[in-house]
């Protein structure tokens, strides 16, 4: 009973997944129609060649010269046209496939980057990349390939069946002898293929995640002499993936062998029946040839339809994995116009930030990280947040950035004219952020600056580099601001990268500056100069810093400590 219920649930999930895929098929219905049309024409031509071959052989046997010329001309013309048509349709199909694949990939990528931060953050980047690449590729192929292929093969099957039925009903029955076995084995096929599809994708995601993470942390791995351990662990992951793949291949080979043997038996039955009918004189040699061709086509087209089952299950599995990450609530930027209006009004006077009874608890947390926080910060003020690591300082920044939503209470930005707006993804444009994990990107120093302001002038770039005390470093580099950064900025020190991140945040000229341990890698003198430059550059800017350094507190109007219970106390 339980197994039956499990199978029913599996089928229900697959139906749901294919309904989701059909949304894309509907979007690309014109392309699918073209693909189906090509397949239909190719199938009809193939059947016509088979029928024409019958008349060609009969004309040879009967020595009918006129019929021979006509039949040969038709067969040759159809065959040549078939080659040309196949080449043209293959090229068009490749163009369509690449277009659909890119558009589906872009759609899923946009879902990932705009998804609820807390939920999407639970997935490892390697797993997300695996879904974005492998699973999206499977779905896009299913949209433009599987559905049209299924329709084409149905046309081929029923076309072949109609021809065989027209000439000999018994032959049609013999050609379909493999059908009962397929239906009897379908349940086992569906459950097993589904199981292995899920397992292989999960393990492949683990391999990608492990390799990505280890490559990013290769310096630490080498420093602690962990290279052999990581190579060994990676080898174990690959062995697990290989074993799972081999188990599936073993099952697949066994089922293919069984189907092939049954197909061979069916073919011999068809061949024997054709010989018998020819012996009786009931059919001609041409009809015998047609029987052998069409019965083979009929049997193979049925088996082809059966072979689509693994593909359908695999595509549905990929769709389910994508649906899992696209089901999360996405950011809509619903308050964009209002946010832009407030920025315009407040660019000279600044905004105040007010926390009204704000509490926050993570979805899988046991206790609130922040509790009943009431705080108001006025334009031009610099305040510090202190407290033990893990007590909620970074969480508070994520609330201000709209990455997280308060469990209770609200955070409000207000202009000097009294215009206010609640924090959301739309108000993120009010802020500049210097995180603990600096976050540099591939490209040059200039690229990393311009990423926040594409139209920044060269003078603006030089100004922020000077404010971040980077001018002398940039001038000492052979390529200056055009110098390329290695992955994660590995060719620069942490202090240099921190100053680059500060320069990037200053270039944005935001209403609010959030600095999360942003000067931890700087010496005290450089830190002082950078902070003083920041104070002068944006006099109305709200600045919130988290720090474990007492030297930074002298720049702050107020210092607040986040306590163990999540409350906030002024020091």
- Per-residue confidence at 298, pLDDT binned at 50, 70, 90? low
Closest listed residue to residue 375, CA positions, set 423, 420, 338, 410:
410
Q: Are residues 317 and 343 located together in one domain of the fold?
A: no
- The pTM of this model reads 0.74
Cβ–Cβ under 8 Å, residues 412 and 420: yes
* DSSP output for 441-483: -SEEHHHHHHTT-TT--HHHHHHHHHHTT-HHHHHHSTTGGGP
Closest listed residue to residue 512, CA positions, set 343, 389, 360:
343
Q: What is the pLDDT of residue 4?
A: 46
273-283 per-position pLDDT tens digit? 777 777 877 77
Q: Are residues 397 and 528 located together in one domain of the fold?
A: yes
93-149 per-position pLDDT tens digit? 777 777 778 888 888 888 888 888 888 888 888 888 888 888 888 888 777 777 777
**Segment 286-291 mean pLDDT:** 72
Q: Which residues of 296-334 are buried (b: 16+ CB within 10 A; e: fewer)?
A: bbbbbbbbbbbebebbbbbbbbbbbbbbebbeeebbeee
Which H/E stretch holds residue 358? strand 351-360
Q: Is the dihedral of CA 338, 340, 345, 347 positive or negative?
A: positive
Q: How many alpha carbons lie under 13 Å from residue 570 in its C-beta half-sphere?
A: 8
Closest listed residue to residue 539, CA positions, set 349, 400, 354:
349
Q: Which tops the pLDDT comparison, 159 or 504?
A: 504
Residue 126, domain member (yes or no): yes
Q: Are residues 178 and 275 located together in one domain of the fold?
A: yes
**Segment 399-427 mean pLDDT:** 92
Residue 552 neighbours by CB distance under 10 Å? 24
Q: CATH number, domain at 501?
A: 3.40.50.300
SS3 content of the chain, % helix, strand, coil (to 5): 70, 10, 20
Q: Are residues 138 and 201 located together in one domain of the fold?
A: yes
Residue 6, domain member (yes or no): no
**Segment 189-197 mean pLDDT:** 80
Q: What are the phi and psi torsion angles at 25 (to 5°)? A: -60, -40
Cβ–Cβ under 8 Å, residues 314 and 197: yes
Residue 8, domain member (yes or no): no
Q: Are residues 289 and 432 located together in one domain of the fold?
A: no
Q: Which tops the pLDDT comparison, 343 or 209?
A: 343
- Per-residue confidence at 336, pLDDT binned at 50, 70, 90? very high
**Segment 402-426 mean pLDDT:** 92
Residue 553 neighbours by CB distance under 10 Å? 15
Percentage above 90 pLDDT, the chain: 19
Q: Rounded to 5 degrees, what angle do the CA atoms 61, 62, 64 make?
A: 120
Least confidently predicted of 9-13, 284-288, 545-549:
284-288
Domain containing 71 equals 14-326
Give the count of domains, the chain: 2
pLDDT value at 180 more than 80: no
**Segment 418-434 mean pLDDT:** 91
- Angle in degrees, 0-180, between the axes of helices 2-27 and 179-216, rounded to the nearest 10: 70
460-472 per-position pLDDT tens digit? 999 999 999 999 9
DSSP state of 140: H
Q: Are residues 208 and 252 located together in one domain of the fold?
A: yes
Q: Are residues 247 and 383 located together in one domain of the fold?
A: no
Q: Which tops the pLDDT comparison, 322 or 261?
A: 322
Residue 162, domain member (yes or no): yes
Q: What is the pLDDT of residue 513?
A: 93
Q: What is the pLDDT of residue 331?
A: 85
377-391 per-position pLDDT tens digit? 999 999 998 888 777
Q: Are residues 83 and 186 located together in one domain of the fold?
A: yes
Q: Are residues 23 and 156 located together in one domain of the fold?
A: yes
Q: What is the pLDDT of residue 466?
A: 92
Q: Are residues 127 and 165 located together in one domain of the fold?
A: yes
The Cα–Cα gap between 416 and 345 comes to 9
Q: What is the pLDDT of residue 237?
A: 87
Cβ–Cβ under 8 Å, residues 370 and 381: no
Q: Are residues 432 and 307 located together in one domain of the fold?
A: no
Query: Phi/psi zone of residue 392: left (φ > 0), alpha (ψ -120 to 50 degrees), beta?
Result: left
Residue 7, domain member (yes or no): no
Residue 255, domain member (yes or no): yes
pLDDT value at 52 more than 60: yes
- Per-residue confidence at 352, pLDDT binned at 50, 70, 90? very high
**Segment 83-95 mean pLDDT:** 73
- Per-residue confidence at 500, pLDDT binned at 50, 70, 90? very high
Q: What is the pLDDT of residue 326?
A: 86
Q: What is the pLDDT of residue 401?
A: 92
Which residue, 326, 345, 372, sits at the end of a domain? 326
Q: What is the pLDDT of residue 2?
A: 44
DSSP state of 404: S
Q: What is the pLDDT of residue 3?
A: 47
Residue 553, domain member (yes or no): yes
Q: What is the pLDDT of residue 1?
A: 40
Sequence-separated (6 or more) residues with CB below 8 Å from residue 527: 519, 549, 551, 552
Q: Are residues 231 and 350 located together in one domain of the fold?
A: no
Q: CATH number, domain at 113?
A: 1.20.1560.10
Which residue, 264, 296, 326, sits at the end of a domain? 326
pLDDT value at 430 more than 60: yes
Which residue, 326, 355, 372, sits at the end of a domain? 326
Q: What is the pLDDT of residue 302?
A: 67
pLDDT value at 296 more than 70: no
Residues present in the chain in total: 571
The Cα–Cα gap between 542 and 44 comes to 72
Residue 127, domain member (yes or no): yes
């Amino acid at each position: 009973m339980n197994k039956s219920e499990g199978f029913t649930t599996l089928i229900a999930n697959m139906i749901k997944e294919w309904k989701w895929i059909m949304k894309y098929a509907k979007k690309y219905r014109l392309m699918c129609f073209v693909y189906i049309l090509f397949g239909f024409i190719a199938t009809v031509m193939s059947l016509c060649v088979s029928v024409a071959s019958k008349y060609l052989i009969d004309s040879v046997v009967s020595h009918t010269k006129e019929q021979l010329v006509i039949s040969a001309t038709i067969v040759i013309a159809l065959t040549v046209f078939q080659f040309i048509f196949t080449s043209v349709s293959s090229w068009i199909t490749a163009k369509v496939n690449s277009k659909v694949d890119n558009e589906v990939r872009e759609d899923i990528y946009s879902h990932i980057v705009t998804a609820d931060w807390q939920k999407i953050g639970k997935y490892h980047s390697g797993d997300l990349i695996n879904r974005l690449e492998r699973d999206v590729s499977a779905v896009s192929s299913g949209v433009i390939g599987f559905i049209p292929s299924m329709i084409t093969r149905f046309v081929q099957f029923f076309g072949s069946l109609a021809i065989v039925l027209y000439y000999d009903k018994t032959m049609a029955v013999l050609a379909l002898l493999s059908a009962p076995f397929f239906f009897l084995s379908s349940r086992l096929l569906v459950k097993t293929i589904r199981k292995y599809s899920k397992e292989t994708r999960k393990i492949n995601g683990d391999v990608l995640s492990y390799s990505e993470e280890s490559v990013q942390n290769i310096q630490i791995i080498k420093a602690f002499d962990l290279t052999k351990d990581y190579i060994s662990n990676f080898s174990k992951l690959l062995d697990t993936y290989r074993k799972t793949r081999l188990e599936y291949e073993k099952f697949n080979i066994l089922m293919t062998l069984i189907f092939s043997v049954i197909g061979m038996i069916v073919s011999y039955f068809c061949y024997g029946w054709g010989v018998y009918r020819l012996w009786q004189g009931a059919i001609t040699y041409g009809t015998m040839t047609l029987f052998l061709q069409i019965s083979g086509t009929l049997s193979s087209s049925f088996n082809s339809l059966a072979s689509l089952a693994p593909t359908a299950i695999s595509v549905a599995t990929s769709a389910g994995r994508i649906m899992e990450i696209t089901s999360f609530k996405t950011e809509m930027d619903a308050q964009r116009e209002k946010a832009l209006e407030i920025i315009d009004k407040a660019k000279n006077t600044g905004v105040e930030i007010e926390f009204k009874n704000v509490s926050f608890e993570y979805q899988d947390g046991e206790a609130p990280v922040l509790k009943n926080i009431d705080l108001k910060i006025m334009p031009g003020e610099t305040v510090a947040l202190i407290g033990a690591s893990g007590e909620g300082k970074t969480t508070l920044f994520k609330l201000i950035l709209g990455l997280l939503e308060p469990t209770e209470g609200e955070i409000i930005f207000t202009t000097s004219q009294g215009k206010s707006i609640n924090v959301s993804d739309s108000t993120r444009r009010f802020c500049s952020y210097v995180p603990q994990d600096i976050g540099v990107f591939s490209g040059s120093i200039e690229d990393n600056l311009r990423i926040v302001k594409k139209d920044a002038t060269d003078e603006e770039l030089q100004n922020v580099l000077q404010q971040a005390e980077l001018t002398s470093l940039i001038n000492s580099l052979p390529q200056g601001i055009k110098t390329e950064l290695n992955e994660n900025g590995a060719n620069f020190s942490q202090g240099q990268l921190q100053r680059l991140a500060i320069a990037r945040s200053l270039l944005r000229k935001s209403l609010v500056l959030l600095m999360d341990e942003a000067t931890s890698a700087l010496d005290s003198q450089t830190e002082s100069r950078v902070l003083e430059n920041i104070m002068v550059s944006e006099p109305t800017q709200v600045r919130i810093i988290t720090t474990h350094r007492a030297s930074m507190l002298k720049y702050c109007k107020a210092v607040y400590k986040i306590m163990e219970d999540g409350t906030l106390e002024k020091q």
